[in-house]
Amino acid sequence: MTISIPAATISQPVAAGRGSIVAVSPDSGASAVVEYTTADAAAVANGVAKWAIWSKGTVGASASDLLGDNVFIRVTATGGAVALDIDSHPSTASLAAYRADWSSADPWATTITRNEALSRIWGVSGTGGVLHPGVNQSPSNFTSSMKMEMEAPFYAVRLLRINRSAANSLDAQKALIGVTGSNAIDTSYGLTVSQNLTTPVINGVSYAQLAPAGTANGFQPVIWPGREVASLTNSTTTATLTTKLPHGLITGAIVTVRNVDLPAYNVTNAAVTVTSTTAFTYTMGADPGAAATVVGSYTANMVGVLRPNVDQTYAQSEKTYIKSVPRLDGSGRPLLLIRLHCNGTVYPFPFHTMSAVARTPSTALRGRTYQMAYALSDAVATPNTLMGLAGELLDVYPVVSYSVPVISIWGVGDSTMQNDALVTDKISSWMYRACLNLSTPQKPIVYANFGASSQNSLTYWNQAKAALAAGAPAPSIMVIGMDSVNDGVNTDGTIINAFGFAEDVISTAKKYGIGKVVMCPRMPLNTLTAPQYALKVAQDIELSKLAAAYGIEWMPLPGLGDGANPERWATALNYAADGYHPNEACIESPLSTTATAFISNLLRL
């Protein structure tokens, strides 16, 4: 499809699909700017879509790029006419010219690549294997900052906020996102520790502010989708919006209401007054004259994350378009900043304790770093607040839109998958190490830890399904432990349960479009009797046959045991002689080396 855009004109939005090649050709002396949005058709039609400029910027000659998402596109022509061409079915040869990455490595691999992936560094359970803590919640007015390395350049970010608290909902959560070129935690580059650690540093300059429009010089506010609207009524110019579930806002929150049938109800950046847990009011510019029939939807600058019941609860933000910037130290892994404010004096919150080891490059993390900071105040409302090094990690993780295709891998299992209590840095699990072994900026691999210490297979599987249901993008590959020592010793009953579990995994993978499922067996358990061990071996054999029948991968975990019958952990590989867990030496090898070889073969690297 080719469209001609006259000089001094902005084209009408045009839909273009993921994998299309977009090309512009300005006339002599003309220039073009391409903008895109992932908003839906209604938002585009109503003029409320957020537009971002493509990576080429303003071009004065023919230029093109490959789309990594389904978008709408518009083009501004300046100084002359511009031709826009959208090739929705490019040839393999055309694709190869745009990305020397997964697409050129192997045709099969392109069927499981993603442009958006979840990075989750801490698993499902908290310290001590607690899934839903009811105590030990922080009562502080607290802002957390996390600076983390991404595996490749990116152009947009969503946040996935998780509530593990059995004590309460987490209301009035606010966040900022920024990009930075500094991975320092000292006074490098002529900046303070707080500037290097917690502020966007662009070309050596710290910007502790909200970014001016069209720049990366500061933070971007995170916008969250609201709850489903039950009704919209009014008293003259005061609207009352009622939600079907608690909205989690506080008075002073800022909302944008859209797609209501009576236009007066549609507002942008209006402050609210909260009247109940499921209602708030805001001021309109005119009296709509009646209650709304089509109640539309709203977004807000804060979110409430409901209290968990059986599964942990999730809230996912809208996309924030923010392009990664070059690093000052020359590394090819760009840096992302996340700030999250929780007022624990009103809504106490759970947290994890990170290790200081992760602040600087280490062998276990293959040179990656994660740097935490804090302030005992609202440093989201006041971005120039000084923040200091901290160990507290809150459960908020980025869902990143990358500028190149990535492989997304989730590890789902019990403590032998989570590994937080087994490794010095708390986060370098064996599957994560395997992903880091293989990941490059050209062929990135992004990992999400869904290990759940002290939980049985049904529980940890439900947490992964809850994340998918909340909108987390499905992984390319899901590695899952098919049963757990927390299910009990192997019996005829556990074999039946494992087969039922496998059927649900297969069904869920089809439902959400998970590219590949990799099943793996439970690790040794020193308390098994000879008959119980025989059942474990039989179960593994039958599950591997089931996997083969459904085109699912089976990843054996050899070299962990002593080879006896019944098998016991190899002494040198067992954590604290507990008979259950791998130690850090085992996590490094043979576990991460086995997984590295298996994933490498799966991806044909």
pLDDT at 235 over 50: yes
Instruction: Give the pLDDT confidence score for residue 107 in this predicted structure.
Output: 33
Same domain for 245 and 307, yes or no, is no
Question: Are residues 316 and 231 part of one domain?
Answer: no
Q: In sequence order, what E strands does 312-434 have?
A: 313-316, 320-321, 335-343, 352-353, 370-375, 388-389, 392-393, 396-413
Per-residue pLDDT tens over the stretch 475-525? 999 999 998 999 988 888 878 888 889 999 999 999 999 999 999 999 999
- Position 65 scores a pLDDT of 83
Residue 271 CB coordination number (10 Å): 14
Residues 577 and 604 reside in one and the same domain: yes
Query: Of all helices (H) and strands (E), which one includes residue 96?
Result: helix 92-96
Judgement on whether residues 193 and 307 belong to the same structural domain of the protein: yes
Please tell me the predicted confidence (pLDDT) of residue 92: 56
Q: Write the DSSP assignment of 41-78 as a string of letters.
A: HHHHHTT-PPPEEEEEEEESS-EEEE-SS-EEEEEEEE
* 109 shares a domain with 30: no
pLDDT of residue 94: 67
CATH number at residue 113: 3.40.50.1110
Which residues does 374 contact at the CB level (< 8 Å), separation at least 6? 142, 143, 144, 145, 387, 388, 390, 392
Residue 108: is its pLDDT beyond 50? no
Is the domain of 255 the same as that of 197?
no
Res. 47 pLDDT band, cuts 50 70 90: confident
Range of the domain at 333: 140-223+303-344
For residue 109, is pLDDT > 60? no
Q: How many CB atoms lie within 10 A of CB 539?
A: 23
pLDDT digits (tens, 9 = 90+) for 524-570: 999 999 999 999 999 999 999 988 888 899 999 999 999 999 999 99
The answer to whether residues 203 and 331 belong to one domain is yes
Q: What CATH number should be reported for the domain holding residue 257?
A: 2.40.30.20
Assigned domain for 375 exists: no
The terminus-to-terminus CA distance of the chain in angstroms comes to: 36
Residue 489 shares a structural domain with residue 575: yes
Residue 105 binned pLDDT confidence (cut-offs 50, 70, 90): very low
Distance CA 345, CA 430 (A): 38
Give the residue-averaged pLDDT of 97-109: 47
| Residue 360 resides in a domain | no
In degrees to the nearest 10, what's the CA dihedral of 10, 16, 20, 25? -10
Tell me if 362 is assigned to some domain. Answer: no
pLDDT digits (tens, 9 = 90+) for 393-408: 999 999 999 999 999 9
Rounded-to-integer distance, Cα 430 and Cα 422, Å: 10
Whether 355 is in a domain gets the answer no
Position 46 scores a pLDDT of 77
Distance CA 518, CA 506 (A): 11
Q: How far apart are CA 467 and CA 312, in angstroms?
A: 8
Q: Which residue is associated with the tokens 């002396």?
A: 29
pLDDT of 425 reads 97
The one-character DSSP state at 578 is -
- Tell me: pLDDT of 111 over 80: no
Judgement on whether residues 476 and 567 belong to the same structural domain of the protein: yes
This prediction's pTM: 0.83
**Which of 72, 98, 124 is the endpoint of a domain?**
98
pLDDT at 99 over 50: no
User: Of all residues in the chain, what percent carry a pLDDT higher than 70?
Assistant: 96
How much is the mean pLDDT over the chain? 92
CA-based torsion, 1, 51, 248, 344: positive or negative = positive
- Alpha-carbon separation of residue 423 from 123, 361, 364, 426, 574 (angstroms): 13, 15, 9, 5, 13
The verdict on 117 and 246 lying in the same domain is: no
- State whether 475 and 545 are in the same domain: yes
The mean pLDDT value for 278-305 works out to 97
Query: How many domains are contained in the chain?
Result: 4
Report which residue type is found at 429: S
- Please indicate, yes or no, whether residues 253 and 333 belong to a single structural domain of this protein: no
Look at residue 102 and tell me whether its pLDDT is greater than 90. Answer: no
Per-residue pLDDT reduced to its tens digit, 417-469: 999 999 999 999 999 999 999 999 889 999 999 999 999 999 999 999 999 99
